[in-house]
Structure 1
Amino acid sequence: MSDAIQPSKDKLVADLKVVVADAEDLLAATAHQTGERVAELRERMQDNLRNARHKLGSLEDDLRLKARDACRATDHYVHEHPWTSIGVAAGVGLLLGLLISRR
């Protein structure tokens, strides 16, 4: 998993948590409303929120596992090819230094 994708996925998870929390607040605020249509809508929203919460938990678990696998793969590669890793890190550092010094 690339470093650019991970923050966007983390933000997506955080945004979905906010949406779920807001929807739960909305359900709590409309608890005193009566009527068959309102009761049906509340029931449907509760089901959808339950499903969203379940999927969000699965997504978090998947992201955590993929990040752990990426860390292990990187660690394994660095131990297997230390000089290549040092060379790449030095090259990236040099490029970043040149880019920063241009500003």
Structure 2
Amino acid sequence: MNANTDLSAVSKEKLVTDLKVVVADAEELLRATASSAGEKVSELREKIQDRLRDAKIRLADAEAALVDKTKAAARATDDFVHENPWKAVGIAAGVGLLLGVIIGRR
């Protein structure tokens, strides 16, 4: 996986998290205005509920896609390690050495 893919996955995770917060806030707002009367308020509440329902569906789809991509990356890594065990050991040692040098400088 390259840096752009990692950044994209992190961005998608952040987007999913942010959307969950927005949905929760909107649901809280709907509960808080449940006792408000008036035709305009009722129409607005209904419209918001419909959009929230759609957003939840899209959010669930986005989460599922993110999980699928994560599983695919894990499978690809596992396959690479099984096919190239010595390369994997070398890469892990190199990363460990690099982290050691970075941490040692602090």
Which of structure 1's runs of 4+ aligned residues deviate more than 4 A?
A: 1-5
3-state SS, counterpart of residue 34 of structure 1: coil
Q: TM-score, with normalisation over the residues of structure 1?
A: 0.89
Cα RMSD (Å) of the superposition? 1.6
Q: Which residue of 1 aligns with 2:17?
A: 14
Where in structure 1 are there 5+ consecutive unaligned residues?
Answer: none
User: Offset of 1:4 from its aligned partner?
Assistant: 4.8
Equivalent position to 1:44, from 41, 47, 51: 47
Where in structure 2 are there 5+ consecutive unaligned residues?
Answer: none
Tell me the amino acid that sits aligned with residue 26 of structure 2.
A
The answer to whether residue 39 in structure 2 is matched with residue 58 in structure 1 is no
Tell me the amino acid that sits aligned with residue 58 of structure 1.
D
Kindly report which structure 2 residues correspond to 1:1-103, keeping only aligned pairs within 5 A, or say none: 2-103=5-106
Q: TM-score, with normalisation over the residues of structure 2?
A: 0.87
User: Offset of 1:10 from its aligned partner?
Assistant: 2.8
